[in-house]
Structure 1
Amino acid sequence: MPRRRRGGRVSALEGGREEEAPPAAGAVPSAQWASGRQPEAAAELILLRGIFEIGRDSCDVVLSERALRWQPIRPERLTGDSKYDFLHKEEFVELKDIFSVKLKRRYSIKQQGSGTLLGITLFICLKTEKNKLKDSTLDLINLSEDHCDIWFRQFKKILAGFSNRPKSLKILLNPQSHKKEATQVYYEKVEPLLKIAGIKTDVTITEYEGHALSLLKECELQGFDGVVCVGGDGSASEVAHALLLRAQKNAGLETDSILTPVGAQLPLGVIPAGSTNVLAHSLHGVSHVVTATLHIIMGHIQPVDVCTFSTIGKFLRFGFSAMFGFGGRALAVAENHRWMSPNQRMDFAIMKALAKLKPEECEISFLPFNSSQDLEERRAQGYPKSDCNDQWQMIQGQFLNVSIMAIPCQCSVAPRGLAPNTRLNNGSMALITARNTSRPEFIKHLKRYASIKNQFNFPFVDTYTVEEVKVCPKSNSSGHHPEEDHGPHETASGNCFPWNVDGDLMQVASEVHVRVHPRLINLYGRSMEEMNDSKVTCSCL
């Protein structure tokens, strides 16, 4: 239900009549606004005032610039009765939380044409527990056609004023995600809400890996306000990569070597329909289809940092996070056993990667994050920070796993995130290295992600906050043993090394250079990073 506030007395109006009611001199709002306006601020302009039945009460309803307020009409003889006042508190809903308005009608089998008018229905976006959003309705009952028409047109005018809300969306749906539930998720949970909001959609069901990439490179996007991906992390990463590649092409930049990429021109919505849904979880604080859909409908925009991955003289791809070593090998095993169910495949891949746990001899160079430098100035400089070679640091040795993450990477098995101290858009990445240790100790480290304890509190784990990273594996010291492999993905030929980039397998034979680019893409959502603001015990972060 909408929130309740205690309000002052509102006199009854004639039933079914609305009036243009300017505020009285010196009047103040009867409740503080969610945006923080204080009661002593100037009174808001009242747009309409009239009588509707809400619930079982006949209510005096006031539509102002920012909110719809109502209060049951009280008999004059009970005025001043404190108990009665408490039971009839003023209620309100803020206009920014309304995403659609419809005329409410009753239809009968024999009735032709429009049904009998009952009033107006408002569709509202409400916040619930654990960062979730839900849709709700509020019925304003009045049988007068003229009365409802005036209010309906005013609500439509107000909703049209929210220019940030999308009116047309390109939908890309991956029917193979997770348990092949993406199609059902979209048509049962997402599409009905988009229709209520009056958003036009153009749906493409992808048929093969890379279909979304090839489609977005060439298709006409001028008539769309945003692009929505329904699928898992791999699908979302592919669509983000495609939007950013298209932006470089439109800007006339060579994609073979991208040093200072331009931002994506359309925002991206991510509907979680995969197995881990790391991107959606990091963005919203929860992996919830209705929440993600309502963020899109409400036009909530969150800028997010993106990484570029390149090898010597060649750009590879855009992405949000990557794992090398154990994380890459586990994904390579999983890709080679796609005939298994998603949960079985991942469990099997982790167990097999742990059974073959061996370190990689690596040389890792990184540029520490300079938090005192203005990120906008750095972007405007037009050259990469790698030119400042005297700031680079290097570590080398044997590593079981290397993680490079520009987002927190929250998911069900890591509720605080694989990189819990990383933010979505502060221009930095988390570099997390796990040096060679025993298998039991490494397993303890992995299990710690599921708890609230500090998963980095191990002598073999080091964490750094960085802007750029270069990972150079020593191919002649690779821990791969071809005679132990059972599939083409588990170890690539030619001393290629498997990387896990946003859940996609990337095979690279040489050094990989990772740069973070601040706020390169806009995603539909609102940051839940304040959840991770608790102090950490790791002294290096």
Structure 2
Amino acid sequence: MKECKLDEYDGVVCVGGDGSVAELCHALVLRAQLDADSPEKPVKPVLPLGIIPAGSTDVVSYSVHGVRDPVTAALHIVLGHLQQVDMCSFSSLGQLVCFGFSAMFGFGGRSLARAEKKRWMPSSRRREYALVKTLARLRPEDCQLSFLPAKKSNRDQDQDQDPESEGEESWTTNRGLYLSISIMSIPCLSPHAPRGLAPNTSLANGSAALIAVGNTSRSEFIKHLKRYSSSSGQFSFSFVETQAVSAVRICPRSLIGWSEEESEEEGESKTSPIIQSEGAAFPWNIDGELVEIANEVLVRVHPQLITLYGEEVDEAESTVSCSCI
């Protein structure tokens, strides 16, 4: 994406899973920043991105099209249907980590880290193993969670809003133990969560859903997870809090990390490193990819930062009569 002459093309099409999609979306925004000579501020890419799902979950494609179907995705590209979609930037200590749509800290990050260490397993077995192992060793993260509530405004206002102006507003800060913290700027539909991991947000409402799961018993946490496969009730628990936010800051209160414990657990030497970095890090699941970060993380929502081929599900249902789209 850094080397292509983009003015020769009308769009970009990706055939792959969420990892490929996240990589390409990140590259498109970075390329737009390079072209605009704007290294600090995200710039909306000129070219739209088409996603033909070919992965194991295809969360982004599923969220955009409402179905996980390559033909539907291809038809949206052919017909030129365009959908503006919010994205998030993830940064630590003032340095950009990546752009993406969703992130999970705590349970989601730890289970993915365990799965990544068993790449020799089939994908479904690997996920099941990681899920069971992480539940068996379930423990909360002691951290400080701060968020900036989303402003209620229409889409045009959201699009023109300067994210830096948010610094003038007051942050809400909570300290405590959390089993899971998720930040999602799209609904994150999947075969395992037909209403989405974040059903209270949409593709382009200028905000992200913050879902904070406080410390509770293993049985209660499992009940919460099982609700995602049903039609409702995922958040009907006293230990689950949801907020519409424009920015989130997560700072683990103990930056000791977790690599030593994991090494013992997997039967490895206590001195064998899990990560190649200067200090211990915490595992994050960002768009299905494992990212290990040793310091606090700032997540900021950028309204309608990228254009994807597709049509938002509610709009598609109300305007299109053809059953294939």
- The TM-score, its normalising length taken from structure 2, stands at 0.90
Structure 2 equivalent of residue 225 of structure 1: 10
Matched, 1:317 2:98: yes
Can you list the C-alpha shifts for 1:408-454, whole angstroms capped at 9, x where unaligned?
A: 00000000000001110010000001111111111111011000121
Match of 2:29 among 216, 237, 244: 244
Contact 2:100/2:287, CA 8 A, preserved across alignment: yes
Alpha-carbon distance between aligned partners in 1 of 2:180 and 2:204, rounded to the nearest angstrom: 25
Question: What is the percent sequence identity of the aligned residues?
Answer: 52
| Deviation, structure 1 residue 252 | 0.3
Alpha-carbon distance between aligned partners in 1 of 2:52 and 2:143, rounded to the nearest angstrom: 37
Can you list the C-alpha shifts for 1:235-278, whole angstroms capped at 9, x where unaligned?
A: 11101111111000101012xxx3x3110111101111111110
Distance 1:453 1:295, change over 3 A: same
Matched, 1:388 2:148: no
Query: SS of the residue aligned with 1:249?
Result: helix
Alpha-carbon distance between aligned partners in 2 of 1:467 and 1:415, rounded to the nearest angstrom: 25
Greater RCO (Cα-Cα under 8 Å, separation 6 or more):
2
Contact 2:143/2:254, CA 8 A, preserved across alignment: no
Matched, 1:484 2:268: no
Query: SS of the residue aligned with 1:472?
Result: strand
Structure 2 equivalent of residue 101 of structure 1: none
Alpha-carbon distance between aligned partners in 1 of 2:264 and 2:236, rounded to the nearest angstrom: 33
Contact 1:225/1:266, CA 8 A, preserved across alignment: yes
Distance 1:531 1:475, change over 3 A: farther
| Deviation, structure 1 residue 491 | 6.9
Contact 1:492/1:498, CA 8 A, preserved across alignment: no
Match of 2:112 among 306, 331, 335: 331
Alpha-carbon distance between aligned partners in 1 of 2:140 and 2:256, rounded to the nearest angstrom: 10
Alpha-carbon distance between aligned partners in 2 of 1:289 and 1:520, rounded to the nearest angstrom: 24
Alpha-carbon distance between aligned partners in 2 of 1:461 and 1:529, rounded to the nearest angstrom: 27
Matched, 1:522 2:307: yes
Matched, 1:498 2:288: no
| Deviation, structure 1 residue 302 | 0.5
Query: SS of the residue aligned with 1:521?
Result: strand
Structure 1 equivalent of residue 320 of structure 2: none
Structure 2 equivalent of residue 350 of structure 1: 131
Alpha-carbon distance between aligned partners in 1 of 2:273 and 2:19, rounded to the nearest angstrom: 17
Contact 2:187/2:203, CA 8 A, preserved across alignment: yes
Matched, 1:508 2:293: yes
Structure 2 equivalent of residue 454 of structure 1: 233
| Deviation, structure 1 residue 315 | 1.0
Alpha-carbon distance between aligned partners in 2 of 1:418 and 1:531, rounded to the nearest angstrom: 21
| Structure 1 residue identity aligned to 2:210 | L
Alpha-carbon distance between aligned partners in 1 of 2:12 and 2:230, rounded to the nearest angstrom: 35
Residues 401-440 of structure 1: pairs in structure 2 closer than 5 A: 401-440=180-219
Structure 2 equivalent of residue 263 of structure 1: 44
Matched, 1:276 2:61: no
Contact 1:361/1:478, CA 8 A, preserved across alignment: no
| Deviation, structure 1 residue 330 | 0.8
Alpha-carbon distance between aligned partners in 2 of 1:315 and 1:489, rounded to the nearest angstrom: 24
Alpha-carbon distance between aligned partners in 1 of 2:84 and 2:219, rounded to the nearest angstrom: 40
| Deviation, structure 1 residue 298 | 0.7
Distance 1:374 1:300, change over 3 A: closer
Contact 1:491/1:498, CA 8 A, preserved across alignment: no
Distance 1:273 1:378, change over 3 A: closer
| Structure 2 residue identity aligned to 1:302 | Q
> Which has more helix, going by share of residues?
2
Alpha-carbon distance between aligned partners in 1 of 2:188 and 2:197, rounded to the nearest angstrom: 5
Can you list the C-alpha shifts for 1:350-390, whole angstroms capped at 9, x where unaligned?
A: 1111111111001011000111x45544654545143224x
Query: SS of the residue aligned with 2:195?
Result: coil
- Determine which structure has more spread, i.e. the larger CA radius of gyration: 1
Matched, 1:298 2:83: no
| Structure 2 residue identity aligned to 1:386 | E
Structure 2 equivalent of residue 74 of structure 1: none
Query: SS of the residue aligned with 2:2?
Result: helix
Query: SS of the residue aligned with 2:31?
Result: helix
Contact 1:360/1:479, CA 8 A, preserved across alignment: no
Alpha-carbon distance between aligned partners in 2 of 1:357 and 1:490, rounded to the nearest angstrom: 19
Distance 1:460 1:531, change over 3 A: farther
Contact 2:257/2:294, CA 8 A, preserved across alignment: no
Distance 1:529 1:399, change over 3 A: farther
Query: SS of the residue aligned with 1:295?
Result: helix
Contact 1:475/1:495, CA 8 A, preserved across alignment: no
Query: SS of the residue aligned with 1:218?
Result: coil
Aligned CA-pair RMSD = 2.2
| Structure 1 residue identity aligned to 2:92 | T
- The TM-score, its normalising length taken from structure 1, stands at 0.55
Query: SS of the residue aligned with 2:60?
Result: helix
Structure 1 equivalent of residue 321 of structure 2: none
Contact 1:283/1:525, CA 8 A, preserved across alignment: yes
Alpha-carbon distance between aligned partners in 1 of 2:244 and 2:149, rounded to the nearest angstrom: 6
Query: SS of the residue aligned with 1:238?
Result: helix
Distance 1:284 1:513, change over 3 A: same
Alpha-carbon distance between aligned partners in 1 of 2:163 and 2:199, rounded to the nearest angstrom: 29
Distance 1:238 1:491, change over 3 A: same
* Worse overlay, 219-228 or 465-474: 219-228
Distance 1:356 1:419, change over 3 A: same
Alpha-carbon distance between aligned partners in 2 of 1:388 and 1:441, rounded to the nearest angstrom: 38
Alpha-carbon distance between aligned partners in 2 of 1:403 and 1:492, rounded to the nearest angstrom: 25
Distance 1:304 1:338, change over 3 A: same
Residues 355-394 of structure 1: pairs in structure 2 closer than 5 A: 355-371=136-152, 373-374=153-154, 376-377=156-157, 379-380=159-160, 382=162, 384-389=164-169, 391-394=170-173
